[in-house]
Amino acid sequence: MSRSAHPAGPRHADVLPEGHYTAPPADLNSLDPRVWAQTVERTPEGAVAVGGLDVRRLAEEFGTPAYVMDETDFRARCRAWRDAFGSDADVYYAGKAFLSRAVVRWLHEEGLNLDVCSGGELATALDAGMPAERIALHGNNKSDEEIERAVEAGVGRIVLDSFQEIARVAHTAARLGRRQPVQIRVTVGVEAHTHEFIATAHEDQKFGLALAGGGSSSEAGEGPAAEAVRRVLMLDSLELTGIHSHIGSQIFDMAGFEVSARRVVGLLTRIRDEHGVELPEIDLGGGLGIAYTPEDDPREPHEIAKALGDIVTRECEAAGLAVPRLSVEPGRAIAGPTAFTLYEVGTLKELEGLRTYVSVDGGMSDNIRTALYDAEYSVSLVSRASAAEPMLSRVVGKHCESGDIVVRDAFLPADLAPGDLLAVPATGAYCRSMASNYNHALRPPVVAVRDGQARTIVRRETEEDLLRLDVG
Quick one: which of 229, 200, 199, 223 has its CA closest to 211? 223
Output b/e per residue, 229-268; b: 16+ Cβ within 10 A.
Answer: bebbeebebbebbbbbbbbbbbbeeeebbbbbbbbbbbbb
Residue 257: strand, helix, or coil: helix
CB 112 within 8 Å of CB 135: no
CB 66 within 8 Å of CB 58: yes
CB 389 within 8 Å of CB 7: no
Q: To 5 degrees, how large is the angle CA 113–CA 289–CA 319?
A: 70
Strands (DSSP E) found in 3-160: 41-42, 48-50, 53-54, 66-70, 89-94, 113-116, 135-137, 157-160
Alpha helices in 111-197 (DSSP H): 119-127, 144-153, 163-175
DSSP 279-340: -SEEE----B---SSTT--PPPHHHHHHHHHHHHHHHHHHHTPPPPEEEE--SHHHHGGGEE
Contacts of 267 (CB under 8 A, 6+ apart): 186, 211, 220, 221, 225, 226, 229, 243
What distance in Å separates the CA atoms of residue 209 and residue 212, rounded to the nearest whole number?
Answer: 9
Q: What is the CA radius of gyration of the chain?
A: 24
Contacts of 26 (CB under 8 A, 6+ apart): none
The dihedrals phi and psi of 265, each to the nearest 5 degrees, come to -65, -35
> Residue 48: beta bridge partners?
42
CB 308 within 8 Å of CB 282: no
Quick one: which of 63, 69, 52 has its CA closest to 339? 69
What distance in Å separates the CA atoms of residue 390 and residue 149, rounded to the nearest whole number?
Answer: 55
Tell me 91's DSSP state.
E
Contacts of 121 (CB under 8 A, 6+ apart): 95, 96, 99
Burial class (CB in 10 A: 0-12, 13-18, 19+), 471: exposed
- Residue positions annotated with a catalytic role: 400
